[in-house]
Chain A
Amino acid sequence: MDNAQLKEVVTRLVPDATFEENKQFLMVTVAPDQLHDLLKNLKENPGTRFDYLYCITGVDLQPNLQMVYHLESTVLGHHIVLKTATSDREKPVLDSVTDLYKGAELNENEIFDLFGIVFRGHPNLRRMFMPDDWNGFPLRKDYVDEINIIDLS
């Protein structure tokens, strides 16, 4: 499927999704509560079959915390990028996609560790790299650590 057709499919599933396009990907932004259902549909729909979630990224957009999912279909060969964001920095909660893609489990752990986003439905959410009693989330833009981070700029 090309980007125009993908756009059509996504619009049918989520009417208020917003689209962006660059040279590589079609990027879709949806509300946090729509993401899980959309992913499930895109994975199971025989026309799209996005079965390979190859990159999960957290981004601190200040004030929003954004999640970016890069998807590919190993059968049909097309790509799509899904994005969702939450503005709650104190207690950000998003839906986990581990039930759809097992590979997401460690990635979501990593994002919980470094961005503090809690994933609803994650089987084993824990700090991945930092010690269990660490304060703060190091990849957030407003994170300050005067002892361990030497700021050269």
Chain B
Amino acid sequence: MGPQHPSTHGVLRLLVSLQGEIVQRLEPHLGYIHRGIERMCEKNTYAQIIHLTDRMDYLSAHMNNEAVCLAVETALEVEVPERVKYIRTIMSELQRLDSHQLWWSSMGMDLGALTTFFYGLRDREYILDIFEETCGGRLLLSYNCPGGVMYDLHPNFQKKVKEFIKYFRKRLPEYDQLLTGNVIFQNRTKGIGILTKEEAINFGVSGPSGRGSGLSCDIRKKSPYSAYPYVQFNEMLEYGCDSLSRYKVRIAEMWESMNIIEQLIDNIPEGPFTAKMKPVIKLPAGEYYQRVETSRGELGVYIISDGNKIPYRVHFRSPNFSNLHALDYMSRGVKIADLVAIGASLDFVIPDIDR
């Protein structure tokens, strides 16, 4: 299956052993979009690395950027202005909404419901317009820089975001009406792709996929960063352990993201949008680890510095890479069409797997 199969959302190749239509075992073959980002990081300065991380999980571009920035800031012991924390968190949550909208669109499409794609992309356009106004980019934002963000918010930003939240609060129930309650959809996802909590921990599954198995793994709660300590929000857990549970977690997270944005959007403090940084950033020798919660789970950035302006080694713990490994376990004994449904419920972004 793959690397050009439409349901693999990119260039993922799965070697599937079948008996009739039943999946016996499965082996992922990767490397079709391997760009050697970790190697490239060893040749570039810290400010340059940030722009490479956009290209890993392109639907969590802002969170990836933020992870590197936070790692660099912790290493240098720089305290970023309050305004930056607020901006970063709002942007992250917008990005999460954007990513979950696209996931919802493509999940419906993988199961044969083409309408979802139009609904999802229609609403996603609003967020991309907001991004475009402030960051210049729609997909790859590159909005963060060590110490803050690249430029200040666009004057329309608050107004546009509030308009969008108001609009999307009306539209999100439509998603439920269209897909969640659908009998065919329920039959295709309920009880399919079981991943117990113990196995989820064992495989290192994180993010919404892990929370669908009742595993409390939200980094925003476990080790809060940026403006997350200031807001009230719930960690969404479902205990069904199947594809439907993972689906429900993501839908619930969209509501929660809107709550977080609403708490912050009116209270963005005035002040500078970046801290004063030296033009050449050199981290003190040592090692630094930063975890953030992206749309798909836990991203870890592990930087080893030898005191130079370029890092000695950078490793990215990518959420999709760990989630992918659980696919073999989850899909044994299901039909090949259900394999597509399970893959959709795990929400893969292949460039993040290959790096």
Interface residues of A (CB under 8 A from B): 22, 24-25, 51-55, 57, 59-60, 68, 70, 74, 77, 101-103, 105-107, 110, 114, 124, 128-131, 138-139, 149, 151-153
B300 touches A54 (CB 8 A): yes
B300 touches A55 (CB 8 A): yes
B302 touches A55 (CB 8 A): yes
Chain B residues within 8 Å of A70, by CB: 289, 300, 302, 317
Distance of A77 Cα from B217 Cα, bound (Å):
11
- A22-B286, A53-B204, A139-B39 as given contacts; A129 in contact with B354, CB under 8 Å: yes
Q: How far is the CB of B327 from chain A (nearest CB, A)?
A: 11
Q: How far is the CB of B334 from chain A (nearest CB, A)?
A: 19
Among B203, B288, B300, the most chain A Cβ lie within 10 Å of the Cβ of: B203
A54 touches B325 (CB 8 A): no
- Scan B299-320; emit 1 where CB is below 8 A from any A CB, else 0: 0101010000010010101000
Q: Of the listed stretches B28-36, B88-96, B147-155, name the one at the interface; the rest are far from the partner chain.
A: B28-36
Chain A residues within 8 Å of B288, by CB: 24
Query: How many B residues touch A, CB cutoff 8 Å?
Result: 40
Q: Is B107 an interface residue (CB 8 A)?
A: no
Interface residues of B (CB under 8 A from A): 27-28, 30-31, 34, 36, 38-39, 43, 199, 201-206, 215-217, 222, 286-289, 291, 298, 300, 302, 304, 310, 313, 315, 317, 321-322, 324-326, 329, 354
The SS class assigned to the A binding surface is: loop
B30 touches A128 (CB 8 A): yes
Distance of A138 Cα from B37 Cα, bound (Å):
11
Distance of A107 Cα from B318 Cα, bound (Å):
10
Chain B residues within 8 Å of A77, by CB: 222
Q: How far is the CB of A52 from chain B (nearest CB, A)?
A: 5
A107 touches B321 (CB 8 A): yes
A51, A103, A138: the one contacting B39 at CB < 8 Å is A138
Across chains A and B, the number of contacting residue pairs, with CB separation under 8 Å, is 79
A128 touches B204 (CB 8 A): no
Distance of A130 Cα from B322 Cα, bound (Å):
19
A68 touches B302 (CB 8 A): yes
With A103-B202, A103-B205, A129-B34 given, name 17 new contacts (CB 8 A).
A51-B201, A54-B291, A55-B300, A57-B313, A59-B304, A60-B313, A70-B300, A74-B217, A102-B202, A102-B329, A106-B28, A128-B30, A129-B30, A129-B31, A138-B36, A139-B39, A153-B310
B31 touches A128 (CB 8 A): yes
Distance of A50 Cα from B230 Cα, bound (Å):
30
25 contacts between A and B (CB under 8 A): A24-B288, A53-B204, A54-B317, A55-B302, A55-B315, A57-B315, A60-B313, A70-B300, A70-B302, A74-B216, A74-B217, A77-B222, A103-B202, A103-B203, A103-B204, A103-B322, A103-B325, A103-B326, A106-B322, A107-B321, A110-B321, A124-B27, A128-B30, A138-B39, A139-B38
Distance of A135 Cα from B37 Cα, bound (Å):
19
A55 touches B317 (CB 8 A): yes
A105 touches B300 (CB 8 A): no
Chain B residues within 8 Å of A54, by CB: 204, 206, 291, 298, 300, 317
B201 touches A59 (CB 8 A): no
B204 touches A101 (CB 8 A): yes
Chain B residues within 8 Å of A59, by CB: 304, 313
Distance of A148 Cα from B203 Cα, bound (Å):
34
B302 touches A57 (CB 8 A): yes
Among B216, B286, B322, the most chain A Cβ lie within 10 Å of the Cβ of: B322
A53, A55, A128: the one contacting B289 at CB < 8 Å is A55
Distance of A25 Cα from B199 Cα, bound (Å):
26
Using CB atoms, name the residue of chain B closest to A57: B315
Among A24, A51, A131, the most chain B Cβ lie within 10 Å of the Cβ of: A24
Q: How far is the CB of A2 from chain B (nearest CB, A)?
A: 16
Chain B residues within 8 Å of A131, by CB: 31
Distance of A103 Cα from B325 Cα, bound (Å):
7
Chain B residues within 8 Å of A149, by CB: 39
Distance of A106 Cα from B326 Cα, bound (Å):
10
